[in-house]
């Protein structure tokens, strides 16, 4: 005699799509990067802009924002 069939659980909704496109601005044929690049990690790794600082999410490098 075969064991009873198991019901499949509903799949979770999943992760939202990547928001990398929000870091770039397209003007004509050129791409402009909106955020700063990390000086330690190099180009392509952006720093997060907080109220009082810029911080790299990869290596943890931080720069204080200067008041104008």
DSSP 5-68: PPPPPPPP--PPPP-GGGGEEEETTEEEE-SPEETTTEEEEEEEE-SSEEEETTT--EEEPPP-
Does residue 25 lie in a domain region?
A: no
Does residue 48 lie in a domain region?
A: yes
Question: What's the total number of domains in the chain?
Answer: 1
Q: What mean pLDDT value characterizes the chain?
A: 85
Does residue 44 lie in a domain region?
A: yes
pLDDT at 68: 67
Across the range 22-40, mean pLDDT stands at 89
Q: What is the pLDDT of residues 39-48, one digit of tens each?
A: 999 988 989 9
Does residue 12 lie in a domain region?
A: no
Domain span at 60? 36-68
Pairing of strands 53-56, 24-27: unpaired
pLDDT band of 61, cuts 50, 70, 90? very high
Does residue 62 lie in a domain region?
A: yes
């Amino acid at each position: 005699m075969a064991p009873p069939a198991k019901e499949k659980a509903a799949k979770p909704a999943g992760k939202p799509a990547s928001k990398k496109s929000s870091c770039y601005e397209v003007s004509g044929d050129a791409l402009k990067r909106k955020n700063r690049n990390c000086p330690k990690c190099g180009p392509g790794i952006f720093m997060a802009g907080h109220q009082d600082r810029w911080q790299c999410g990869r290596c943890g490098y931080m720069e204080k924002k200067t008041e104008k």
